[in-house]
Amino acid sequence: MYELQQVGENSFYIQSPAKIGLFRLNETDVCLIDSGSDKDAGRKVRQILDRNNWRLTAIYNTHSNADHIGGNRYLQGQTGCRIYASGIECDFTNHPIAEPSFLYGGYPPKDLRHKFLLAQESSAEQLTEDKLPDGLSMISLPGHFFDMVGFRTRDDVVYLADCLSSRETLEKYQVSFLYDVAAYLETLERVKEMKAALFVPAHAAATEEIASLAQCNIDKVLEIAERIADICREMRSFEEILQRLFQDFGLVMNFEQYALVGSTVRSYLSWMKESGRMEAVFEDCRLLWKTR
């Protein structure tokens, strides 16, 4: 873990729970794509930089989930590097309490205020195309989170952040976290058509061919939607829907999974309601869902 892998003349990634991209700007300067999950990840990245006599100039965050920005504060404090994030991701990066609060739908209990969902604050600036160095371009990848982006290097290496999961992850966890289901499906359809020398997803193996894995992720989204539709043949509350999904897929309920899967299920229900597949009814002071 945390081995440096070279995948182009100037393109690298650091093998970690959420892959960290590294792009060499010249003989001495580099930038990162994400920073890992916490201070320890930041230390390991710093060791790689020191071994190669590289100076870190900037971190470009794909999105603001804690496992992608957790090393920001340490690396910024150690190197003085600048940090960039796009759209609302910049606000979440500057105010990371927003992530567990958003997931829970209120002030998060202590069970959710830990490093896996709550990164340390760092000082981020808005990411726009003019802030990118030569040889790095930005790709919009909304759906998994608000304004998630990926990057393509001049070596034709594409860093895809969290826009898809490995087949093994899909099989194990079934319901992957999503914010906007419609945007996510549109993103995956675009990713299916992409060509590159190499694709580097954060949570799947690097690959030269991405279309089949993108389709696998699309199929899983549609499968989950069908499962929710089946559960809601009769009027169901959100808690009943969530319980059935956990039972059907053999998932273990805890605060973290309740927040992550629960937020995702709400996103599915919104998408299905807006597409006309689901209706929402208020009855006996309860919000109930039913498949049309």
Residue 110 neighbours by CB under 8 Å, 6+ apart: none
In angstroms, the CA 262 to CA 269 distance is 11
Residue 256, pLDDT score: 97
Average pLDDT of the residues in 117-142 = 98
Give CA torsion, residues 256, 260, 263, 267, to 10 deg.
-170
What integer is the mean pLDDT of 130-155? 98
For 219-229, what is each residue's pLDDT tens digit?
999 999 999 99
Q: What pLDDT does residue 132 have? A: 98
Place of tokens 């003019």: 130
Cα–Cα distance for residue pair 24/286, rounded to 1 Å = 55
- CA–centroid distance for 104 within its chain: 17
pLDDT in tens, 59-100: 999 999 999 999 999 999 999 999 999 999 999 999 999 999
Q: Give the separation between CA 124 and CA 8, rounded to whole angstroms.
A: 28
Q: Which pLDDT belongs to residue 225?
A: 98
Strand partners, 60: 33, 84
pLDDT for residue 263: 98
Paired tokens of 34 = 């994400």
Cα–Cα distance, 203 to 160 (Å, whole number): 9
Whether the model pTM is above 0.85: yes
| Confidence band of 182 (pLDDT split at 50, 70, 90) | very high
pLDDT in tens, 229-285: 999 999 999 999 999 999 999 999 999 999 999 999 999 999 999 999 999 999 999
* pLDDT value of position 214: 98
CA distance 218 to 193: 14
Residue 164 backbone dihedrals phi, psi, to 5 degrees: -155, 160
Predicted confidence at residue 85, as pLDDT, reads: 98
SS (H, E, C) the chain: CCCEEECCCCEEEECCCCCEEEEECCCCEEEEECCCCCHHHHHHHHHHHHHCCCEEEEEECCCCCHHHHCCHHHHHHHHCCEEEECHHHHHHHHCCCHHHHHHHCCCCCHHHCCCCCCCCCCCEEECCHHHCCCCEEEEECCCCCCCCEEEEECCCEEEEECCCCCHHHHHHHCCCCCCCHHHHHHHHHHHHCCCCCEEEECCCCCECCCHHHHHHHHHHHHHHHHHHHHHCCCCEEHHHHHHHHHHHHCCCCCHHHHHHHHHHHHHHHHHHHHCCCEEEEEECCEEEEEEC
- Predicted local confidence at residue 47, as pLDDT: 98
pLDDT-derived band at 103, boundaries 50, 70, 90: very high
